[in-house]
Structure 1
């Protein structure tokens, strides 16, 4: 599984099942995604990077970041649906 798929799967799990989320694995996946996407441009990539930063913040046990992470995850999903058309 590539880093972006793993990252998105882990974020999805964290948003929908925060008590079952693997925070250390989420941190690793976010870091790998950010490293891999560094040279890629585009609005969806910018939103994905923001999502990764918020997920990292939440994964470092700042539970207040969950609200922001959910909002950005919703924006990401909406943008994906629009781009798929």
Structure 2
């Protein structure tokens, strides 16, 4: 069960059922926007902490709900998720 909306790439890829490399590619191509869908950890704060191991400084974390929302938007426009995958 997810305790926080911000997850590591590994955890988010498992939640979404996609490859972690696909997630990275979407961020690199701008399909997922920095500051909205993902951010790089500069410090650990209460927003990010959960019962699981917190991410390390410098790691990229992704917002679960906003990434899911983006994927729903793609599907609503009949975008084939594999077509925009890595």
Q: TM-score, normalised by structure 1?
A: 0.31
Q: Give 1 or 2: higher helix fraction.
A: 1
Higher RCO, 1 vs 2 (CA within 8 Å, ≥6 residues apart): 2
From the CA coordinates, give the structure whose radius of gyration is larger.
Answer: 2
User: Going by fraction, where is strand more abundant, 1 or 2?
Assistant: 2
